[in-house]
Amino acid sequence: MLNILILGLGQCGNRILDAINREAFGSGGTFAKYYSRQKFPASVKTIAINTAVNDLKELKNTLAKDRFHVPHLHGVGANRNIGKQVFEENKEMILEEIDKRGSFDLIFVITSTAGGSGSSFAPLLVSELKQTYNAPIICIAVLPFRAEGSIFLQNTAFCLRELVATKSSGILLVDNQYLKKYSGEDIKSAYDKINTTTARRILFLIEALNSEMLMVTDLGDLKTVMSGGIGVGTMGFYEASKGSTIKSTILGSFKPSGLLFPANVYKDGARAMLIIKGDKKYLDLDLVTKTVEELSKEVGQVFKGVLVKKGRPKVLSLFTLNAVPELEKLYTVAAEAIRFEMEKREKSKKQLENAFAHIEDLEPIY
Amino acid sequence: MVLFVLIFSMTAAADSINTTVDVNEGIVLNGDIHLEVLDVGTNWGSYAKLKFYSYKDAGGKTESIYMGDVPTTYTSGTFMKIEVTLDSISYDTAFLMIESTTSLKISDRYGFEGEDETEKEKQKPITVPKLGITRTFDTNRAEQGQTIRTTLTIRNTGNGTATNIVLDEDTITGAYKDGCPSTIDDIAAGETKRISYDLRIVDAQPGTYELSPAILNYKSESGATYSSESSSSILEILPEEVRIPELEISINSVKGIITCGDKFPVTVTITNVGNATTGKVHVKSDLPADVRVVDGDLEPEYESIKPGDSEEYDVSLRAYEQGKHTIEMQVMWGDSEAAASFEFWAEKSGLEQYYPYILAAIPILLLLLWIIKRRREYSY
C-alpha cells in the first residue's frame, strides 16, 4: 500500500484538502464524519498548513490534529515576502510536523499560486521536502481569477516560476478562471465545485496507483509522465454516458470541458496517463489499446491503467505539456499588472512628495 | 417377805394411833376390830383399799379411802367405833391414822392371802376412756388431681384405755383416702395419737363441700361402748388446671418498605404463652419465590421452651422482585402449631426504576460521546 502525503497550503490548499477528506467519507453527506471513517484508497496522511487560523477553523472534514497553524497573526496578507520569511522562521516546526506522519511514497502539495501563505510556502517547502524525502512531489497549483487583482497575478507569476525552479516531480495546474465558465454559478459555488472536482481527481489517481489493475500503470509511470515536457500539466476526466463506447469515453477525457486547465492536448501534450475505471463488461481492452495507440501518435507516450469497478466507465487523464500558451497570456497580464502597479506607486509617491513640498520651508506655529 | 413396821402411840381416852400396814396384812384392834389393807394405789389420788370386820360383824365392809378425805368410820358388833384416815402410801404400804373414843391397842398383826384375780378384778375401780378427735388438712383448697394430707389427732382424756376403736369417716364423692385405717390401736388414758393419710381428689366435681364429722366408736376396758366425733370440715375443690404449652410466633421487620436487591432484617419471636414446657419446637417458613435468606437460619429448632420464655432470632432476607410479598412462618410443637405472616412491599431502587431509560440512554449517550469525540477531533 502506498503511503501518500497530501499537504494543503494556504486557504485554497486547505479547502481542496478538506474536500479530499470529505470525499474520503464517501456519500455520507455532512454528518458522515460523526459516524463513518474515511476510506482512502491508500494510506493517506493529510496536513492543512496555514498562517491564518481562521482559514484552518473553517475546515469541516479535516482532523484538528491534521491542521497546522504557522503562527503569524492572521495570515501574511498575500505578501509572499512576508510569507517566505515566516516559512523560514517556522520551517523546522513544519517539517517536524510532517515528519511525524512517517515516510511517504508520493507527496502532493496543493496550493494556490495567488495567495500569501500557500504561494510563498509552496516553493520553499517543496525544496525542503525534496531534501528530506525521496518521494516524488507533485504540486497541484491553482491559478486565480484574472480579475482578482494585480497582487494575486504577480504572486502567481513568481510562485509558478519558483515552483518550476524547484524541479519537483511535476506541476498539475488547476485554473479557476477556466473552470468558472463551466461551473456557471456564483463564486462560492464555483470554488466549492472546483475544489470537489480537484479532490475527486486526486483520489481517483491515488486509487489507481494503489490498486491491482487489469492493465497496470503505477507510480513509476506517473513519474515518467510528470517528467515529460516542461513538467507542467493538468488532469482531464470523463464519465461515460449511456451508449458511450470506451473509445469515446477515453477521448472525452481529453476534451477541454474535462480539463482543469485550458490546453490543447493533441497539440501541446508531451506524455499522458489514462486511468480507466468501470465494469468489466464496458471495458473492451482491445479497443482501449487501440485508442491509446492512436492517442500516442498525437500526444506522445501514453500510459494506461484499467481498473475494474462497478459502474459505467470513468476515465482520468493526466498529462504534461510541451507548451503552455495560457501561461504566456497569464504572465503577460501579470507583467502588465506589475508595471501598472509600479507606475501607480511612482505616481502616488511623486504626488505625495509634491504635496509635502508645499511645507518644505515652513515650521509649525503655535 | 413383807416388812412390818409398827409404830405404837397409845392414849387412854379419845385415843388415836398411827400405824403402817402392808398390803395383805391385817391388824386387830382391841381384840375386836380387824383392819386389813387390800391394796394401795394412786388412781385419782393416793388411796388405800381397806377391809373392816369384827367378831360380831363378820361381813364388815371394804372401802377405799383417799388421802385427804374425811375419816372413814367403822363400828364393830360390840359397838366399838374407829375413824381411819389415810396419811400416805408407799409402794405397798399404807400409813394410817386410827382414832377412837376408847383406848386403842393393836392386839395382833397377821398376814393373809391376797384376793384371787377375779375377785380382785371385781374390786377394781371403774375406768372410763374419753376420746377427743380433731381433723385437720394441709389445705382446704385443692384442685382436681391434687392430694390433701389429712391428719386426725385423737386424745384420750378419760381415765381408761380406749379399745376397739373404729373410725367412721365419710368423704366426698370422687375423693379417695389413701392410707387411712378403719381401726385404731388402743389408746391409753392421757395418750394422744395422730393418724395421717392422703385424700386424693380424683374426679370430684369442683365446688365447696362440708365434710361430715369423723366418728370414733370405742370401748372401755370394761366393755362399755362410747363414741366421739370431730367437728365438720369445709373443703373447696377447684377445677383441675390444664397445663399445656402454647406457642405464639411473630415476624416483623424494622423496615417498612423494602428496596429490591437490598438486604433487610426480620425478627422472628416465639413465645410460650402456655403453662407448660414444650417438647421439641420446629420452625418452618414459606418464602415467596423471589425472596432469599442472606444471613441466619430462618428455620431453627429448639429442644424446649419454658412457660413465659421467648426465643428470638434475626434473619437477613433479600427480595428481588417488585410488589407485595408475604412470608408465612409456622411453629410446631407436639401435635400443635401456630402460624404468623409478614407482609411487606418491595420497591425497585431509585436507580433501578430508571434502568429502561438508562439502558435506552446508553446508546444515545455513547453516540453522543462519539459525536462529541468526533466533533472535538474535527474542531480546531
B143 and B226 part of one domain: yes
Put simply, the answer to whether A34 touches B374 (Cβ < 8 Å) is yes
**Residue range A211-225: mean pLDDT, rounded:** 85
The pLDDT tens digits for A126-144 are 999 999 999 999 999 999 9
CA angle B43, B45, B50 (to 5 degrees): 80
What is the pLDDT at residue B10? Answer: 38
Among partner residues A53, A57, A64, which is closest to B377 by beta-carbon distance?
Answer: A64
Q: Contact A153/A330 with Cβ under 8 angstroms?
A: yes
Given A321, A340, A355, which residue is the final one in a domain?
A321
A233 and A174 part of one domain: no
Among partner residues B370, B376, B378, which is closest to A60 by beta-carbon distance?
Answer: B378
B118 and B146 part of one domain: no
pLDDT band at B3 (very low <50, low <70, confident <90, very high): very low
Put simply, the answer to whether B380 touches A64 (Cβ < 8 Å) is yes
Put simply, the answer to whether B380 touches A35 (Cβ < 8 Å) is no
Ranges A27-31, B9-13, B61-65, B235-239: which has the least confidence? B9-13
**Residue range B304-315: mean pLDDT, rounded:** 94
Tell whether A242 is within 8 A of chain B (Cβ). Answer: no
Q: What distance lies between CA A280 and its chain's CA centroid?
A: 31
Q: What is the mean pLDDT of chain A?
A: 91
Please check the confidence at residue A181 and state whether its pLDDT lies above 90: no
Q: What is the mean pLDDT of chain B?
A: 87
A158 and A204 part of one domain: yes
B164 and B103 part of one domain: no
pLDDT band at A88 (very low <50, low <70, confident <90, very high): very high
What is the pLDDT at residue B2? Answer: 36
A67 and A155 part of one domain: yes
What is the pLDDT at residue A314? Answer: 95
Q: How far is CA A68 from CA A13, A90, A173, in A?
A: 13, 11, 24
What is the pLDDT at residue A150? Answer: 84
CB under 8 Å, gap of 24 or more: what pairs does A336-345 form?
Answer: A337/A150, A337/A153, A337/A154, A338/A150, A338/A153, A338/A154, A338/A157, A340/A150, A341/A150, A341/A151, A341/A154
Helices marked H in chain B — which ranges? 117-122, 350-353, 355-378
More confident residue, B357 or A347: A347
A205 and A246 part of one domain: no
Q: Which CATH number covers residue B100?
A: 2.60.98
CB under 8 Å, gap of 24 or more: what pairs does B117-122 form?
Answer: B120/B39
Tell whether A155 is within 8 A of chain B (Cβ). Answer: no
Residues of chain B neighbouring A33 (CB-CB closer than 8 A): 374, 378
Number of C-beta neighbours around residue A83 at 10 A: 29
Residues of chain A neighbouring B379 (CB-CB closer than 8 A): 64
Q: Coil, strand or helix: which one is A121?
A: helix
Q: How many CB pairs under 8 A join A and B?
A: 24
> If you measure CA to CA, which chain B residue comes closest to A62?
B378
Please check the confidence at residue A182 and state whether its pLDDT lies above 80: no
Q: Please tell me the distance in Å from B291's CA to the nearest CA on chain A.
A: 45
What is the pLDDT at residue B122? Answer: 58
Given B182, B212, B238, which residue is the final one in a domain?
B238
The pLDDT tens digits for B37-51 are 999 988 778 899 999
What is the pLDDT at residue B109? Answer: 92
Ranges A66-70, A215-219, B365-369: which has the least confidence? A215-219
**Residue range A68-82: mean pLDDT, rounded:** 86
In chain B, what percentage of residues exceed pLDDT 90? 54
**Which domain, by its residues, includes A205?**
3-210
Q: What are phi and psi of B354, to 5 degrees?
A: -100, 10
Q: Which CATH number covers residue B282?
A: 2.60.40.10
Q: Which CATH number covers residue A43?
A: 3.40.50.1440
Please check the confidence at residue A339 and state whether its pLDDT lies above 50: yes
What is the pLDDT at residue A36? Answer: 82
> If you measure CA to CA, which chain A residue comes closest to B375?
A34
Given B122, B150, B174, which residue is the final one in a domain?
B122
Q: Contact B163/B218 with Cβ under 8 angstroms?
A: yes
A110 occurs within a structural domain: yes
Q: Please tell me the distance in Å from B380's CA to the nearest CA on chain A.
A: 5
Please check the confidence at residue B228 and state whether its pLDDT lies above 80: yes
Among partner residues B374, B375, B380, which is closest to A56 by beta-carbon distance?
Answer: B380
The pLDDT tens digits for B162-202 are 999 999 998 888 899 998 998 999 999 889 999 999 999 98
Question: In chain B, which residues touch A (CB < 8 A)?
Answer: 370-371, 374-380
What is the pLDDT at residue B267? Answer: 94
**What is the residue type of B247?**
L
Pairing type for strands B175-178 and B192-201 reads antiparallel
Please check the confidence at residue B266 and state whether its pLDDT lies above 90: yes
Please check the confidence at residue B117 and state whether its pLDDT lies above 80: no
pLDDT band at A19 (very low <50, low <70, confident <90, very high): very high
More confident residue, B274 or B9: B274
A191 and A234 part of one domain: no
What's the ipTM?
Answer: 0.78
B360 occurs within a structural domain: no
Helices marked H in A166-320 — which ranges? 176-183, 187-210, 219-226, 246-252, 265-268, 285-299
pTM, full prediction: 0.58
Please check the confidence at residue A164 and state whether its pLDDT lies above 80: yes
What is the pLDDT at residue B262? Answer: 87
pLDDT band at A7 (very low <50, low <70, confident <90, very high): very high
Please give the tally of structural domains in chain B. 3
Best probe of the A interface among B372, B379, B380, by most A CBs < 10 A, is B380
Residues 6+ apart with CB under 8 A from A291: A246, A247, A250, A251
B117 and B136 part of one domain: no
More confident residue, A68 or B258: A68
**Which domain, by its residues, includes B168?**
131-238
Element (H, E) at A156: helix A150-165
**What is the residue type of B277?**
T
A243 and A185 part of one domain: no
Put simply, the answer to whether B370 touches A64 (Cβ < 8 Å) is no
A32 and A177 part of one domain: yes
What is the pLDDT at residue B121? Answer: 56
> If you measure CA to CA, which chain B residue comes closest to A69?
B380
Please check the confidence at residue A321 and state whether its pLDDT lies above 80: yes
Among partner residues B370, B376, B378, which is closest to A61 by beta-carbon distance?
Answer: B378
Ranges A2-16, A140-154, A204-218, B62-76: which has the least confidence? A204-218
What is the pLDDT at residue B1? Answer: 35
B231 and B301 part of one domain: no
Put simply, the answer to whether A64 touches B379 (Cβ < 8 Å) is yes
What is the pLDDT at residue A101? Answer: 93
pLDDT band at A332 (very low <50, low <70, confident <90, very high): very high
Q: Which of residues 38-77 of A touch B (CB under 8 A)?
A: 53, 56-57, 59-65, 67
Q: Please tell me the distance in Å from A19's CA to the nearest CA on chain B.
A: 14
B324 occurs within a structural domain: yes
What is the pLDDT at residue A5? Answer: 97
A178 occurs within a structural domain: yes
Please check the confidence at residue A23 and state whether its pLDDT lies above 90: yes
pLDDT band at B120 (very low <50, low <70, confident <90, very high): low
Put simply, the answer to whether B378 touches A63 (Cβ < 8 Å) is yes
Q: Please tell me the distance in Å from A26's CA to the nearest CA on chain B.
A: 17
Please check the confidence at residue A3 and state whether its pLDDT lies above 60: yes
Please give the tally of structural domains in chain A. 2
Q: Please tell me the distance in Å from B327's CA to the nearest CA on chain A.
A: 53
Put simply, the answer to whether B378 touches A56 (Cβ < 8 Å) is no
B251 and B344 part of one domain: yes
